[in-house]
Amino acid sequence: MARVPSDPLSLMNQWRRDIERAFEGVDAGEPREGITAAAWAPAVDIKEEDGAYVLHADVPGVEPKDIELNMDNSVLTLRGERRSETGNKEGNYRHIERVTGKFYRRFTLPDTADSEHIAAKYTNGVLEIRVPKQDKVLPRRIEVQR
């Protein structure tokens, strides 16, 4: 039987090229073939109350008009954009830490979530999303007919 020579570095280089090809041309926040990159992601707290799921997202500096919420197949999608106040990051700034750009978060909610009555409000840089729960269906006995 003939021995087939292998070159581990060749395999690593091929893998690196495949990864680079998958991400080439991806700009922050621009989806490409199922890949979505974002400049930043807001911190989100999720709590369950008796009648609703409540999400609090920290989005300071984001205008409510720049926030988009969608619910599809029990997946809640939060996306938006925090715009630069100056439009130009050069100017007289000595240090910049606040991230600007597009953001994107997805949350899978239980089947009990009522997607028809979701409400959202924005107060002091915090977005509150209230997802009511559907009324529980009580178990019932079904008679078997003869």
Q: What is the DSSP string of 95-125?
A: ------EEEEEEEEPPTTB-GGG-EEEEETT
Of 7-11, 19-23, 35-39, 69-73, where does the model show the most confidence? 69-73
- What does each C-alpha distance from 76 to 2, 51, 72, 91, 120 come to in angstroms? 56, 18, 7, 38, 12
Structure tokens at 39: 């400049």
Identity of the residue numbered 14: Q
Supply the pLDDT for residue 35.
47
pTM for the whole structure: 0.65
Beta carbons of 31 and 23 less than 8 angstroms apart: no
CA nearest to 81, candidates 65, 97, 98? 65
Please write the tens of the pLDDT for every residue from 24-79.
Answer: 544 444 444 444 567 889 999 999 998 899 999 999 999 999 999 999 988 999 99
Q: CB count, 10 Å around CB of 36?
A: 14
All domains in the chain, ordered by first residue: 39-132 (2.60.40.790)
Count of residues in the chain: 146
pLDDT digits (tens, 9 = 90+) for 80-100: 999 876 555 556 777 778 888
Separation CA 122–CA 101 (nearest Å): 19
**pLDDT confidence of residue 146:** 85
